[in-house]
A and B are shown apart, each in its own frame.
Chain A
């Protein structure tokens, strides 16, 4: 079955840039999406279609994709950005969706 691979954890100091990667064989042809999940809450979309930001999401969140890797970048990370982040995409057929394993972002 198709898999998306993320690093388990990323740690930065406040104001630094955090980068979270997501690798998958179908990413050259399929969009990546990024969700933020804070403890006890439902996920919230922060990036869609590789690099688009939904309304209400701060400009410090950005996304990119190149080859088999998608990247979520948080420029000037804030303490309130501490959360788990998940990438989401589909396999090459488009019928089967998958989440990455998640990355715990620590900002301190």
Chain B
């Protein structure tokens, strides 16, 4: 079965960077895009961007352009999301989500368990 297992909670100081990992199993890692979505406490879901694990191509939401980098290591079926210049407003649960494709359209179909990133001085 498809599983996405994310790295553990992080506490970072303002201005630092954080790198969250997402290890995939149960399918061919390079066959489906990975999306990253975050959710601040009590707030809504926010799409951050996507990555094609086969090509490494990425697309980022305008809000995160210049601060976010999505990469992968295909040898260990793991995707990464790095967010830099952290500020308190980046405190949130970060999810990776594998695309599920049907009839030519794709959407986040399988979700990781989420990683809490806390930014505090």
Contacts and interface: CB of A to CB of B under 8 A. Distances in A.
Interface of A: 1, 31, 33, 35, 37, 42-43, 45, 48-49, 52, 84, 86, 88, 95-102
A88 B105 CA distance: 12
A48 B61 contact: no
Interface of B: 35, 37, 44-47, 50, 59, 61-63, 95, 100, 102-103, 105, 107-109, 111-114
A30 to B, nearest CB: 9
24 contacts: A1-B63, A31-B105, A37-B45, A42-B113, A42-B114, A43-B108, A43-B111, A45-B100, A48-B105, A49-B102, A49-B103, A52-B102, A84-B44, A86-B45, A88-B45, A88-B47, A95-B59, A96-B47, A97-B35, A97-B47, A97-B61, A99-B45, A100-B44, A101-B44
Nearest to B62: A1
A48 B108 contact: no
Q: Is the interface of B mostly helix, strand, loop or mixed?
A: strand
Contacts of B46: 99
Given A42-B95, A88-B108, 7 more contacts: A42-B114, A43-B45, A43-B111, A48-B105, A86-B44, A96-B47, A97-B50
B107 A98 contact: no
A42 B4 CA distance: 12
Given A35-B45, A42-B113, A86-B44, A99 B37 contact: yes
Contacts of A42: 95, 111-114
Contacts of B45: 35, 37, 43, 86, 88, 99, 102
